[in-house]
Amino acid sequence: MVQKTLKKSYTFTGKGLHTGAFSRVTISPAPEGTGINFKRQSDGFLMPALASNVSSTARSTKLTLGDFSVQTVEHVLSALYGVGVDNAVITVDGPEMPILDGSARPYTEAFLADGLQDQSAPRQYIDLKEEIYVSDEKSGSWIRITPADKPSFDLTIDFGSKVLGIQTASYDESVDYASQIAVCRTFVFFHEIEYLFANNLIKGGDVDNAIVVVEHPVTEEQVDNIAAKLGKEKISVNSDGYLTNLSLYFPNECGRHKLLDLIGDISLAGVRVNARITGYKPGHGINTRAAALILQATDK
Ligand SMILES: [Zn+2]
C-alpha cells in the first residue's frame, strides 16, 4: 500500500475543551515521508507529532517543542491514522485543538468526502522484535504490544461504574473507522463535571460535546445547575444513567471513544507497527508512554 495524504486543506474552528481558547486549525496535504506535523500559524514553526514531544497527559495529550505547545491533539491524530493519512500538516493559531462535537467525526467526514491522495512511496509497516508492556500500579492500567502480522487495537475499560460496566472495543484496518470509531464522543462523569466547572477546567464545555455519566444519585437542582452551564433548557437523567443532553450511538460508545483516544495517542509512535495493542483501562499517560517505547524500539 502506498502512503496517502489529503486531497486539499480543511479548516476547523472552535473552542478547546480544557482551555476554552478559540482556535482556527487548517489540516493540509504534505509530501511523502514527512509524517504528521503541527505548524504554528504565526511563524511556520514545525513540531512533529511524535511521542518524544509529549509534555502533559492530564485529561488530554499535549505536545510541546520549544515554546510551541498544542493541547488535546489525540482526536485529530486518531482521525488521520484511522482514515489512513500518513502525511499532513496541522496549522494552528491557538493553544488547543477545538473540541468540535467531542468526537473525530468532523475530521473524517471532511477528509472522506473528497477521498485521499495516493502518493508514490510505499507505506511502512514496522515489525516489532519483542513484546512491549507498560503498566501503572496506581490505576491498574496496562498496555501490552505483541508482535503480529498487522496492526490491531483491543481495549477494555472498567471504571468500577454501574452505568458503564465493563466495555470492550476493537479496531484493525478491516473495521470502518469513520462509522464505528470516529463518531464516538468523549465522556465525563457527572461528579467530575461539577468539579471541573468549579475549577475552570472545562471552559469549552458549553456545547453538546460530551456524554455525561451519572454514577451517583443527583438532585434535580444539581442537574439544573449543569444544564444551565451546558446552555440547555432542561435535561434529566435517563434510565440507563446518562444525562439526556445527547443520546448514545452505541451502547459501548464510551469504550469506543477510549479506543479513539488510544489510536490517536499510539499514532505518536510515528509509524504503523505490526502488533496487537491491548489496553486495559488505558489513559493518555500510559498510551503515550507506550507510543514512546514503540518509537524507541522502531527507531532506525
Ligand atoms: Zn478523547
64 within some domain:
yes
Q: Is residue 46 part of a domain?
A: yes
pLDDT band at 145 (very low <50, low <70, confident <90, very high): very high
Which residue would you say has higher pLDDT here, 254 or 201? Answer: 254
Separation of CA 105 and ligand 1 centre (Å)? 12
Prediction pTM value:
0.94
Residue 232's pLDDT is: 78
Please give the pLDDT value at position 199.
Answer: 80
Active site residues: 284
Average pLDDT of the residues of the chain: 93
Q: How far is the CA of 231 from the centre of ligand 1 (A)?
A: 22
Q: How many angstroms is it from 120 CA to the middle of ligand 1? A: 32
Strands 166-172 and 187-189: unpaired
Q: 122 CA distance to ligand 1 centroid (A)?
A: 30
Tell me the per-residue pLDDT of 17-35, one tens digit each, with 9 for 90 and over: 888 899 999 999 999 999 9
**Count of domains forming the chain:** 1
CA of 129 to the centre of ligand 1 (A): 30
pLDDT of residue 234: 81
What's the 262 CA to ligand 1 centre distance in angstroms? 9
Instruction: Report if residue 65 sits inside a domain.
Output: yes
Q: Assess if residue 254 is contained within a domain.
A: no
Domain assignment present for residue 130? The answer is no
Distance between CA atoms of 68 and 97, rounded to whole angstroms? 13
Dihedral, CA of residue 73, residue 75, residue 79 and residue 81, to nearest 10: 60
**In one letter, which amino acid is 218?**
V
Look at residue 163 and tell me if it is in a domain. no
How far is residue 117's CA from residue 61's CA, in Å, rounded to a whole number? Answer: 28
Tell me, in angstroms, the distance from the centre of ligand 1 to residue 275's CA. Answer: 22
Question: pLDDT of 110-125, one tens digit each?
Answer: 999 999 999 999 998 9
C-alpha grid cell for residue 215? Answer: 454514577
* Residue ranges making up the domain that contains 117: 2-123
Mean pLDDT of all residues in 42-67: 97
Mean pLDDT of 74-91: 98
CA distance 130 to 27: 35
Amino acid letter for position 89: V
Residues 106 and 14: beta-carbon distance below 8 Å: no
The answer, yes or no, to whether residue 56 has pLDDT greater than 70, is yes
Mean pLDDT along residues 268-279: 96
Ligand 1 centroid vs 47 CA: distance in angstroms? Answer: 21
CATH number for 10: 3.30.230.20
User: For residue 220, how far is its CA from the centre of ligand 1 (angstroms)?
Assistant: 28
**Which cell numbers hold the place of 102?**
467531542
Report whether pLDDT(207) > 80: no
- Report pLDDT for 188: 86
Distance (Å, whole) CA 13 – CA 34: 25
Query: Domain for residue 32, yes or no?
Result: yes
More confidently predicted of 164 and 230 = 164
Task: Answer yes or no: are the C-beta atoms of 214 and 226 closer than 8 Å.
Answer: no
What is the predicted pLDDT for the residue at 174? 95
CA dihedral sign, ordered 48, 49, 51, 53: positive
30 domain residue, yes or no: yes
pLDDT over 80 (residue 166): yes
Integer Cα distance of 260 and 267 in angstroms: 11
Q: Which of 258, 289, 250 is nearest to 75 (CA)?
A: 258
Distance 123 CA to ligand 1 centre (A): 26
- Whether the CA torsion 243, 245, 251, 254 is positive or negative: it is negative
The DSSP-derived string for the chain is -EEEEESS-EEEEEE-TTT--EEEEEEEE--TT--EEEEETTT--EEE--GGGEEE-SSS-EEEETTEEEB--HHHHHHHHHHT--BEEEEESSSB---TTSSSHHHHHHHHHH-EEEEEEEPPEEEPSS-EEEEETTTTEEEEEEE-SS-EEEEEEE-S-TTT-EEEEEEETTS-HIIIIITPPPEEEHHHHHHHHHTT--TT-SSS--EEE--S---HHHHHHHHHHTT-S---B-TTSBBTTS--SSTTHHHHHHHHHHHHHHGGGSSEEEEEEEEES--HHHHHHHHHHHHHHH--
Taking alpha carbons only, the member of 189, 185, 207, 193 closest to residue 253 is: 185
